[in-house]
Structure 1
Amino acid sequence: MAQTADVVPEFPMPRASGCPFDPPPALQELQKQGPLVKVRLQDGSEPWLVTRYAEQRALLGDARVSADNTMPGYPTKGDGGGGENGEDKFSFIMLDDPEHARQRRMVTAPFAIKRIEALRPTVQKIVDGLIDDMLAGPQPVDLVEAFALPIPSLVICELLGVPYDDHEFFQDNTKTMVHRDATPAERGQAVRAIAEFLSGLLVERRADPRDDLLSSIAGRVTAGEIDHRQATEMALLMLFAGHETTANMIALGTAALFEHPDQLALLRESDDPKLVASAVEELLRYLNITHLGRRRAAVEDIEIAGQVVKAGEGLIFTNEIANRDPEVFADPDRLDITRDARRHVAFSFGVHQCLGQPLARMELQVVYGTLYKRIPTLRLACRPEDVRFKHDAFIYGVHELPVAW
């Protein structure tokens, strides 16, 4: 689709007032215009915005599309975007095959579905324990602080072998890492603090291996497959990806269900694990925490949808509107936990799709299948318009979610 410079819209775009769960209206209008449209970032660059589901999957699965943020044309983070979740070049997530595939294989085993299912009783115990603590404490309580943040912290720390005593240290630093208003110096300091801690743990695991993911990564260094710096980056990615994203999805999903009491009641009153799993997929489709788009660059000319994306041009994939594509999902702006939403692209698509998606799905299934049954009168303890959403962060969600029962 041809555009002239004076009509290229700026990206990112604001959500409509009072519609915090929906994509920005301007994004939905661009989707109607065509599957690929140019947008302008703060630095003046004009990458392609890929608006529709079919073209997103086609391009995300195309080897001519690079995830390497050093490639010419890669959309900069001057607009608050950048890497997959706002990060810099963390390990293999920002590499292309074959090196991406080589490093990714080193950490796939712990995220295999069978291994993740074996963790389900542990996650259930964690969730029940946090609910017990909430029920025994004062009301109202901030669901983010008391419930949503601790769950993925406890789970990923157990998986990695990181002492949970340090969870506040990790939470404070990851908040800085994903805050849009953090300066490069502040963000860099937070990354270095966590990296230095993980680096020390990796040295310990090389000398004294245990049955955890950090020991497995450390063993790759001993075997000469990666160096210590790469191992530290890999551990940092595992910790970051397993912490902030799931925590925001827990709280944001609960806030959305409060806004849709019929869907909340359906989920609360059902004992069918298939409905719980369906609710997780629908909430992943309906909501969107990676709200600044996945960034890529074309390394060769690509012809798609009647348009040529030239080598050296940037691409932004906004899965929030791909997951609302009416060609794929009927009545896409309606939250319906009974629909089959498994085709969504919340975890991306292709070789770079989220490695930790089995863990995220399992955690969300335990949370959504437990919280509203254990506390059937759970409700928002403030006016909906007073909930503060994370428009200022790389990872979308809510800052706090006061609840009572």
Structure 2
Amino acid sequence: MSEQDVPPISIFYRRDGFDPGPALGEAQRGDPARRVRDFWLHRVGEYRLVTRHADVRRVLADQETFAMYDPERAPVLPNELLNMDPPEHTRLRHVLTPEFTGKRIRSLEPMIRALVGELLDAMEARGPAADLMDAFALPLPLGVICAMLGVPDPDQGDFHRWSRTTLDLGLPMEERLAAGRESHAYVASLVAEKRRSPDDGMIGMLVREHGGAVSDSELVGVCELLLLAGHVTVSNTIGLGVLALLSHPEQADRLRDAPEGDPVVDAAVEELLRYLSVSSTALARTARCDTEIGGVPVKAGEQVVCQLPVANRDPALGAGMDRLDIGREPVSHLTFGHGPHHCLGAPLARAELRIALPALLRRLPGLALACPVEEVPYRVNNEVYGLHALPVTW
């Protein structure tokens, strides 16, 4: 496949509404490490597709057996935390972890609440109809992460455009790479500015407290990852989450009526994260040695791709995993990954969802779809699943 060709929808990214595609369910019931020839990230190749919850946990946790780095992927993947193996990964994650502790996230909650209120005020002022993605789901997490990193408000739209292009698997690779280069150049200039004059934001803190222990290249990679993952995943979870709740009005009512601090709010967030699983895969791993997955032999050098949405529906987790149930006892989902590469920003994402969803439902109790449900446009063939738009009224 040439870089200019538009790829087909890979089995790794197939979805059917809220659900994984039927081919993924069939794979989970069959071979635990099915060998497939398919398109992943930037090329057609041979991969091992891993779909069972226990097997995915094992692969993601076992850095000794499954490496992140692959020289064939290096040209299209930035020098960021997700792509690193120890000891570089361990060192950099240790530096970043204090920014995502519970105490730090709690200190951000007033800012998150204020931004939620501003966005809802603006919706009501323009209402009674809106595209919820543009009016609420996107600007909330984008505004939060840009504030954390010190990105000026006028530049936020550029990041949305770059991320939308970079993650769209239906676009030619060169177009996606070009957007990535633009984003990289901007972040590099931002890091250089903060290096010269550190402020109170995250980049400035890293410069002041760690200085030469973190290179400019590593800072750029960290910022690119946070800007991309820190808003695209949360915005699409909000959009899909609202659509799912509107499709289950009794569960929307339960979340709306839950008082502040009610455990059902946290349970609802965890269930929506599990049920929606907007990140379709974890980055491919390379087997360092001959091993096995679920009893299936895997040779050294083979590429392994873990598919997260179907793993989160594994019947081994309990009954009714294909249903949304915000009253469910939370299960150990894999939406944020697992092991050493578990998503660093998970506490921030949870806080944004915990604050945003009940606030939206309470402020707009008449919230409803403004189009037939079958006309809601999904982001198919995308590294982050979600919605292009969510027309609502109230």
Report SS of the residue matched to 1:290.
coil
Q: Decide which of 123, 126, 132 is 2:121's aligned counterpart.
A: 132
User: How far 1:196 sits from its partner (Å)?
Assistant: 2.0
Q: What per-residue deviation string (whole Å, max 9, x for no partner) do you get for residues 264-309 of structure 1?
A: 1111122153111110000011112112454211111223422221
Structure 1 residues 260 and 65, CA, compared in 2 at 3 Å: closer, same or farther? same
Structure 2 residue aligned with 1:57 = 57
User: How far 1:198 sits from its partner (Å)?
Assistant: 2.0
Report SS of the residue matched to 1:162.
coil
Structure 2 residue aligned with 1:283 = 272
User: How far 1:166 sits from its partner (Å)?
Assistant: 1.4
Contact 1:242–1:356 (Cα < 8 Å) also in 2 = yes
Structure 2 residue aligned with 1:4 = none
Structure 1 residues 225 and 142, CA, compared in 2 at 3 Å: closer, same or farther? same
Q: Decide which of 29, 32, 36 is 2:29's aligned counterpart.
A: 32
Structure 2 residue aligned with 1:46 = 46
User: How far 1:220 sits from its partner (Å)?
Assistant: 7.0
Instruction: Point out where structure 1 has 5 or more consecutive residues left out of the alignment.
Output: 1-9, 77-81
Contact 1:294–1:318 (Cα < 8 Å) also in 2 = no
Structure 1 residue aligned with 2:234 = 246
2: CA distance between counterparts of 1:45 and 1:202? 36
1: CA distance between counterparts of 2:386 and 2:223? 24
Structure 2 residue aligned with 1:384 = 373
1: CA distance between counterparts of 2:176 and 2:44? 23
Structure 1 residue aligned with 2:6 = none
2: CA distance between counterparts of 1:89 and 1:207? 23
Contact 1:90–1:233 (Cα < 8 Å) also in 2 = yes
User: How far 1:394 sits from its partner (Å)?
Assistant: 1.3
User: How far 1:67 sits from its partner (Å)?
Assistant: 1.5
Q: Decide which of 76, 83, 87 is 1:98's aligned counterpart.
A: 87
Give the letter for the 1:246 counterpart: V
User: How far 1:95 sits from its partner (Å)?
Assistant: 0.9
**TM-score under structure 1 normalisation?**
0.89
Q: Decide which of 198, 206, 214 is 2:195's aligned counterpart.
A: 206
Instruction: Point out where structure 2 has 5 or more consecutive residues left out of the alignment.
Output: 1-9
Report 1:172-251 matches (<5 A).
172-219=161-208, 223-251=211-239
2: CA distance between counterparts of 1:211 and 1:188? 32
Q: Decide which of 349, 354, 359 is 1:370's aligned counterpart.
A: 359
Percent sequence identity over matched residues?
38
User: How far 1:391 sits from its partner (Å)?
Assistant: 0.5
Point out the structure with the larger helix share: 2
Report SS of the residue matched to 1:215.
helix
Q: Decide which of 218, 240, 245 is 1:257's aligned counterpart.
A: 245
Q: Decide which of 324, 330, 339 is 2:313's aligned counterpart.
A: 324
User: How far 1:44 sits from its partner (Å)?
Assistant: 5.2
Contact 1:52–1:321 (Cα < 8 Å) also in 2 = yes
- 2:386 matches 1:401: no
User: How far 1:13 sits from its partner (Å)?
Assistant: 6.4
Contact 1:198–1:235 (Cα < 8 Å) also in 2 = yes
Structure 1 residue aligned with 2:69 = 68
User: How far 1:341 sits from its partner (Å)?
Assistant: 2.2
2: CA distance between counterparts of 1:110 and 1:131? 28
Q: What per-residue deviation string (whole Å, max 9, x for no partner) do you get for residues 157-201 of structure 1?
A: 111121122111211111111111232332222222222222222
Contact 1:90–1:237 (Cα < 8 Å) also in 2 = no
1: CA distance between counterparts of 2:96 and 2:183? 19
Structure 1 residues 226 and 369, CA, compared in 2 at 3 Å: closer, same or farther? same
CA RMSD of aligned residues (A): 2.0
Q: Decide which of 309, 313, 318 is 2:302's aligned counterpart.
A: 313
Structure 2 residue aligned with 1:79 = none
- 2:357 matches 1:356: no
Structure 1 residue aligned with 2:18 = 21
Structure 1 residues 263 and 69, CA, compared in 2 at 3 Å: closer, same or farther? farther
2: CA distance between counterparts of 1:70 and 1:319? 24
- Greater Cα shift, 342-351 or 160-169: 160-169
Task: Find runs of 4+ consecutive structure 1 residues off by over 6 angstroms.
Answer: none
1: CA distance between counterparts of 2:271 and 2:172? 35
